[in-house]
Amino acid sequence: MQNLLRLSCTSGIGIPIGVHTSTISRSVYQITVNFERTGMTTTDIRARILAVTTGVMLLVLMAFVFEGRPDMPWLLSFSLNIGAYTVAGILLGFIWPNSGWRLGGYLFAIWPLFLLANFLFSDPPPVIHWKEEILGVFGYFLILPGATFGAWAGSLIRRSISGHESVAVKQPLPPP
């Protein structure tokens, strides 16, 4: 019975009673080794999860904003989407300056899935206007440079305020 216990790993997942501690220690060691190889910390993982979640929330929010205005010009709707994702990128880059511009890609991560689902699961129009469709897809893909630039600018602002040092080195997060 000494080898059986309930253990809560650092990832927050409870391992049920009946698991040998030697198995637990090997799996925790493997997780630690994988994090050390990639250089990812729990702060980086939290930042990326929050960036993807923010991207999904912005997609839903902007869908509700544009739903009431079907007569809105396409250039204005693309500009508002790019602006919203750029501002979100600035905020995320300011909060997590060590992740920098990479958070922009995670902010944008939902859009390829959304566009693919929109293409596959919507009724095709009787006549496809390819020029308008391709222009629309490229317009939505312009969100990626906006979000990436925003995250880079936010991290640059934060680093200039904090004195060009890594913020995680100056003020590390307490362990969860």
pLDDT tens digits for range 102-145:
999 999 999 999 988 888 888 777 777 888 888 888 888 999 99
- If DSSP codes are grouped into helix, strand and coil, which group holds residue 143? helix
pLDDT on residue 105: 92
Half-sphere exposure of 168 (CA within 13 A, CB side): 13
pLDDT on residue 48: 92
Q: Which residues pair with 7 in a beta bridge?
A: 15
Residue (of 155, 162, 41) closest to 97 by Cα position: 155
pLDDT tens-digit profile of 28-64? 444 444 545 566 788 888 989 999 999 999 999 988 8
Contact 155, 100 (CB under 8 A): yes
Whole-number Å distance between alpha carbons of 81 and 108: 11
pLDDT on residue 121: 85
pLDDT tens-digit profile of 21-30? 455 545 444 4
DSSP H or E run through 73: none
Residue 87: partners with Cβ closer than 8 Å, 6 or more residues away? 150
How confident is residue 168, by pLDDT bands cut at 50, 70 and 90?
A: low
